[in-house]
């Protein structure tokens, strides 16, 4: 059995969708899967509220005192707290043994499988809170107490817990609670049916007898006892009293003996991380021995006190042993954990809703999940904790866009925006993480993830200067194989025919990708295949015949039309829900900067990158940077040929795009008072500004931003 669903009415930040609890839809509904479920999201996104709601209904194995208070009741917009709340847990996956313990309350779902609902209802009246717990298949249910209720208790590991107290001796020792439930510490009956003392009790009795003998037979012990009795007889007791004192230890039963035990990892005092690992190991021992009832462990902030490698070790163990130890519901702020856990197991908590990443809820395909599981590292997984996301294709954008955002007054850090460098054109896979399945229409807007996503991509349509240069090079080399001004590409009008040949290629990702040769186009098609080999007969031959016709003469007009078509196609495909694509106006980020008012800064950045290539240990001081800026002519006029010449060393790999971007960012930051005006008014940089505005504050009426 496992917890399959949680519903909340008027609990903390979650209200109701209606007027009265009896008829209203819950303010929050969460579906859980078997095995591991991980709640991720920024602070105050509702993760703890979900964990606490489960604890309040089911109680914990540690028997901790849990009580509702006024602040657990939803506070309405008018400032009044509601008088009622309800928390409902639904369980599925029963076998006959588990079902047998809940016969009075269990029912069936629509598919004929066992289903158990238990709910906590609480009412505030006269400064008191009156909770009741009921279960059943109808709306009234009946009270659930006693053994059945105990079988639903959960293990709860709170954040920043004091594991030292839980694993050391004392009346509240959690270790003792765990041990006493193990078969190894249960008394066995003899042939007559009488309970026999446990071995520990026998050992303890012998130990007690040895201690007692010390104060009778040993000279040191007896002297101490005699001295105490002398004080009593001569100084305190009346003469007719014949009582005497003995030094002894308490005759403990098994429970008391277990409370005296400590769980340690080493002789010296351990750190908090090691103690928490001990605590988790002991709790898993409890789950391993548990034969009936719910196996559910709630862990808040597993990363507390554990460094990243321990986090990965623990989560890997949980994933590999989930069948043995039951269901886990975790919360985390750790990008390390978020990147390690199966994407389908994540539940994004965002504002007043939750968004499970399981396949039935997202627009991700199975291939997308496999790809993202391989490449969603700790850096990229920060998108799960962001208020806005910018997805970029390369290092240059990753370095420059935060700088531009800072200059135009939209610091990404201040707005809680994460920038994710996917390092390729795989941005569509990452963007689909945020898209809800079957919810594209505006009528579902309230069900969209309220996280704006900007996808910044190169247009990748070369300028006419590139082809002119290639023609000139061919003429100088007298290359008879050069085909003048040809480009190979698939256009929108070709898609229907290609889909008819095979659906095993993502043709939407191939359309309008301009190539210099047939072989380059064929390579792009190969990269977008969903299977290693075509499964149909004759597909390769048909594709070869089709591709032979995909060449066009290159003119200024054709390039302009191609750019317009590619932008329109990309926007139609990717501007979905709160996702929006922003494409370079002409070619790439660097080329468009070369065309813009920032061209003189890029020219200097190129020079700096060339110097760094010659001497990688060279350092530009603040004085050096200011001197370079003083030489910049902001009235520098750029024509298309100059822009291409400025971009060419970057395009040819003569200098590093990343190093140049870093140098350019340094110059822009140092001269931001001047640069801000150049950026905001420049049409070539508008797409960058718009992408930043999309994930921070929407544009003001009239189309202008600060």
Per-residue pLDDT band for 89 (boundaries 50, 70, 90) equals very high
State the Cα–Cα distance between residues 435 and 579, nearest whole angstrom: 8
User: By three-state DSSP, how is residue 607 classified?
Assistant: helix
Q: Is 65 exposed, middle or buried (0-12, 13-18, 19+ CB in 10 A)?
A: exposed
Only one residue has tokens 């959960």, namely 154
- Of 332, 353, 374, which residue constitutes the final position of a domain? 353
Give the total number of structural domains in the chain.
Answer: 3
Which helix (DSSP H) or strand (DSSP E) does residue 463 occupy? none
How far, rounded to the nearest angstrom, does the alpha carbon of residue 148 sit from its chain's CA centroid? 35
Same domain, yes or no: 150 and 25: yes
- If phi over 0 gives left and psi between -120 and 50 gives alpha, with beta otherwise, what is residue 127? left
Same domain, yes or no: 147 and 79: yes
- The 10s digit of each residue's pLDDT in 138-153 is 888 899 888 888 899 9
Q: Give pTM, 2 decimals.
A: 0.79
How far, rounded to the nearest angstrom, does the alpha carbon of residue 201 sit from its chain's CA centroid? 49
Lookup: tokens for 302: 């597993």
Per-residue pLDDT band for 703 (boundaries 50, 70, 90) equals very low
pLDDT, residue 598, reads 94
Same domain, yes or no: 640 and 605: yes
Question: Is 242 among the domain residues?
Answer: no
Only one residue has tokens 């920032």, namely 598
State the Cα–Cα distance between residues 596 and 689, nearest whole angstrom: 13
User: Domain containing 21: what range?
Assistant: 2-162+275-353
Beta strands in 318-461 (DSSP E): 327-332, 346-350, 353-356, 388-392, 417-421, 453-457
The average confidence (pLDDT) of the chain is 85
Q: Specify the pairing of strand 25-26 against strand 16-17.
A: antiparallel
Length of the chain: 706
Lookup: tokens for 295: 């196996």
Same domain, yes or no: 80 and 135: yes
Long-range contacts of 135-142 (CB under 8 A, 24+ apart): 135/102, 135/105, 136/105, 136/107, 137/105, 137/106, 137/107, 137/108, 139/22, 141/105, 141/117, 142/104, 142/105
Angle at 344 between CA 341 and CA 346, to 5 degrees: 60
Predicted confidence (pLDDT) at residue 212 exceeds the cutoff of 90? no
* Most confident option among 51-55, 305-309, 557-561, 616-620: 51-55
How far, rounded to the nearest angstrom, does the alpha carbon of residue 213 sit from its chain's CA centroid? 62
DSSP calls for 56-98 = HHH-BTT-------GGGBPBPTTSPBPSEEEEEEEEE---HHH
The alpha helices in 181-321, defined as continuous H runs, are 199-217, 219-231, 254-259, 272-289, 308-320
Question: Is 52 among the domain residues?
Answer: yes
Same domain, yes or no: 310 and 416: no
- Of 310, 332, 353, which residue constitutes the final position of a domain? 353
Question: Is 474 among the domain residues?
Answer: yes
- The 10s digit of each residue's pLDDT in 667-693 is 999 999 999 999 999 999 999 999 999
Contacts of 612 (CB under 8 A, 6+ apart): 618, 659, 663
Contacts of 151 (CB under 8 A, 6+ apart): 101, 102, 292, 293, 294
Which helix (DSSP H) or strand (DSSP E) does residue 193 occupy? none
Which helix (DSSP H) or strand (DSSP E) does residue 134 occupy? strand 128-135
Same domain, yes or no: 131 and 31: yes
Question: Is 202 among the domain residues?
Answer: no
Same domain, yes or no: 122 and 18: yes
pLDDT, residue 268, reads 53
CB 348, CB 40: distance < 8 Å: yes
State the Cα–Cα distance between residues 38 and 330, nearest whole angstrom: 5
Per-residue pLDDT band for 414 (boundaries 50, 70, 90) equals very high
Residue (of 98, 144, 97, 96) closest to 117 by Cα position: 144
State the Cα–Cα distance between residues 591 and 616, nearest whole angstrom: 25
Lookup: tokens for 603: 């020219």
State the Cα–Cα distance between residues 234 and 232, nearest whole angstrom: 6
Question: Is 606 among the domain residues?
Answer: yes
Q: CA 477, 481, 484, 485: dihedral to nearest 10 degrees?
A: -100
State the Cα–Cα distance between residues 472 and 468, nearest whole angstrom: 6
- The 10s digit of each residue's pLDDT in 449-463 is 999 999 999 988 888
Selected residue with higher pLDDT from 339 and 286: 339
Lookup: tokens for 698: 């929407």
CATH code for the domain of 94 = 3.40.50.300
- The 10s digit of each residue's pLDDT in 114-134 is 999 999 999 998 889 999 999
Same domain, yes or no: 48 and 115: yes
Q: CA 106, 109, 113, 115: dihedral to nearest 10 degrees?
A: -30
Q: Is 252 exposed, middle or buried (0-12, 13-18, 19+ CB in 10 A)?
A: middle
pLDDT, residue 701, reads 45
DSSP calls for 272-310 = HHHHHHHHHHHHHHHHHH--SS--EEEEE-TTTT--HHH
Q: How far, CA to CA in Å, does 553 sit from each of 279, 483, 559, 569, 621?
A: 71, 10, 10, 21, 50
CA dihedral (399, 400, 401, 402) positive or negative = positive
Predicted confidence (pLDDT) at residue 609 exceeds the cutoff of 90? yes
State the Cα–Cα distance between residues 168 and 299, nearest whole angstrom: 21
- Of 353, 384, 401, which residue constitutes the final position of a domain? 353
Which helix (DSSP H) or strand (DSSP E) does residue 643 occupy? helix 640-651
* Most confident option among 86-90, 283-287, 373-377: 86-90
Q: CA 213, 214, 216, 218: dihedral to nearest 10 degrees?
A: 130
Per-residue pLDDT band for 265 (boundaries 50, 70, 90) equals low
Predicted confidence (pLDDT) at residue 593 exceeds the cutoff of 50? yes
Long-range contacts of 522-530 (CB under 8 A, 24+ apart): 522/547, 529/504, 529/505, 530/367, 530/504, 530/505, 530/506
Q: How far, CA to CA in Å, does 545 sit from each of 444, 508, 541, 542?
A: 44, 20, 6, 5
Question: Is 586 among the domain residues?
Answer: yes
Same domain, yes or no: 508 and 626: no
- The 10s digit of each residue's pLDDT in 459-478 is 888 888 887 777 777 666 66
When pLDDT is averaged across residues 296-307 and rounded to a whole number, the result is: 83
Question: Is 187 among the domain residues?
Answer: no
Same domain, yes or no: 472 and 370: no
Question: Is 682 among the domain residues?
Answer: yes
Same domain, yes or no: 678 and 586: yes
pLDDT, residue 115, reads 93
**Percentage with pLDDT > 70 across the chain:** 92
User: By three-state DSSP, how is residue 500 classified?
Assistant: helix
Same domain, yes or no: 130 and 49: yes
Predicted confidence (pLDDT) at residue 694 exceeds the cutoff of 50? yes
């Amino acid at each position: 059995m496992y917890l399959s669903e949680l519903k909340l009415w008027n609990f903390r930040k979650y209200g109701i969708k209606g007027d009265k609890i009896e008829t209203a839809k819950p303010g929050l509904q969460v579906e859980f899967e078997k095995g591991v479920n991980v709640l991720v999201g920024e602070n105050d996104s509702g993760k703890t509220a979900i964990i606490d709601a489960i604890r309040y209904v089911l109680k914990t194995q540690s028997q901790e005192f849990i009580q509702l208070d006024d602040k657990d009741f939803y506070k309405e917009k008018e400032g009044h707290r509601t008088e009622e709340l309800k928390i409902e847990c639904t369980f599925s996956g029963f076998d006959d043994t588990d079902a047998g313990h809940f016969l009075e309350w269990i029912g069936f779902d629509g598919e004929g499988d066992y289903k158990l609902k238990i709910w906590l209802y609480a009412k505030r009246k006269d400064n008191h809170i009156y909770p009741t717990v009921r279960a059943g298949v109808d709306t009234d249910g009946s009270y659930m107490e006693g053994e059945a209720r105990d079988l639903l208790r959960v293990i709860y590991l709170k954040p920043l817990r004091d594991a030292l107290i839980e694993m050391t001796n004392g009346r509240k020792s959690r270790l003792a609670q765990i041990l006493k439930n193990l078969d190894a510490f249960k008394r066995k009956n003899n042939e007559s049916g009488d309970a026999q003392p446990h071995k520990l009790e026998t050992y303890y009795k012998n130990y007690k007898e040895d201690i007692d003998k010390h104060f009778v037979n040993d000279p040191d012990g007896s002297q101490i006892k005699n001295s105490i009795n002398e004080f009593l007889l001569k100084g305190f007791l009346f003469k007719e009293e014949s009582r005497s004192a003995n030094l002894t230890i308490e005759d403990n039963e098994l429970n008391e003996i277990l409370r005296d035990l400590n769980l340690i990892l080493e002789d010296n005092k351990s750190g908090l991380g090691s103690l928490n690992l001990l605590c988790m190991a002991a709790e898993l021992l409890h789950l391993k021995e548990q034969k009936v009832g719910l196996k559910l462990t709630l862990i808040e902030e597993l990363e507390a006190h554990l460094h990243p490698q321990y986090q990965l070790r623990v989560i890997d163990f949980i994933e590999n042993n989930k069948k043995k130890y039951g269901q886990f519901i975790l919360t985390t702020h750790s990008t390390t954990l978020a990147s390690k856990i199966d994407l389908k197991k994540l539940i994004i908590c965002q504002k007043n809703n939750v968004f499970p990443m399981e396949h039935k809820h997202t627009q991700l395909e199975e291939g997308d999940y496999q790809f993202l599981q391989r490449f969603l590292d700790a850096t990229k997984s920060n998108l799960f904790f962001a208020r806005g996301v910018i997805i970029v294709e390369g290092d240059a954008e990753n370095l420059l866009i935060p700088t531009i955002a800072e200059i135009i007054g939209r610091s990404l850090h201040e707005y809680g925006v994460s920038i994710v460098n996917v390092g390729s054109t795989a941005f569509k896979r990452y963007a689909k993480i945020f898209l809800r399945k079957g919810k594209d229409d505006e009528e579902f807007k309230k069900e969209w993830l309220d996280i704006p996503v900007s996808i910044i991509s190169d247009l990748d349509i070369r300028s006419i200067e590139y082809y002119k240069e290639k023609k000139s090079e061919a003429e100088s080399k007298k290359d008879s194989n050069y085909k003048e001004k040809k480009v190979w590409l698939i256009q929108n009008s070709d898609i229907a025919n290609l889909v008819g040949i095979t659906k095993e290629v993502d043709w939407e990702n191939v359309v309008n990708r301009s190539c210099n040769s047939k072989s380059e186009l064929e390579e792009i098609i190969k990269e977008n295949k969903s299977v290693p080999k075509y499964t149909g007969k004759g597909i390769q031959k048909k594709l070869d015949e089709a591709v032979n016709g995909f060449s066009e003469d290159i003119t200024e007009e054709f390039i302009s039309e191609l750019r317009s078509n590619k932008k329109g196609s990309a926007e139609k495909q990717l501007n979905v829900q709160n996702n929006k694509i922003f494409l370079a106006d002409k070619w790439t980020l660097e080329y468009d900067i070369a065309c813009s008012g920032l061209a003189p800064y890029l020219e200097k950045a190129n020079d700096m990158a060339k110097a760094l290539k010659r001497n990688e240990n060279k350092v530009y001081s603040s004085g050096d940077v200011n001197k370079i800026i003083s030489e910049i002519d902001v009235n520098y006029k750029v024509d298309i040929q100059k822009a291409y010449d400025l971009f060419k060393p970057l395009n040819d790999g003569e200098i590093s795009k990343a190093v140049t971007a870093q140098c350019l960012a340094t110059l822009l930051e140092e001269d931001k008072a001047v640069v801000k005006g150049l950026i905001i008014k420049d049409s070539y940089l508008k797409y960058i500004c718009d992408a930043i505005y999309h994930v921070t504050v929407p544009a003001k009426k009239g189309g202008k931003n600060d």
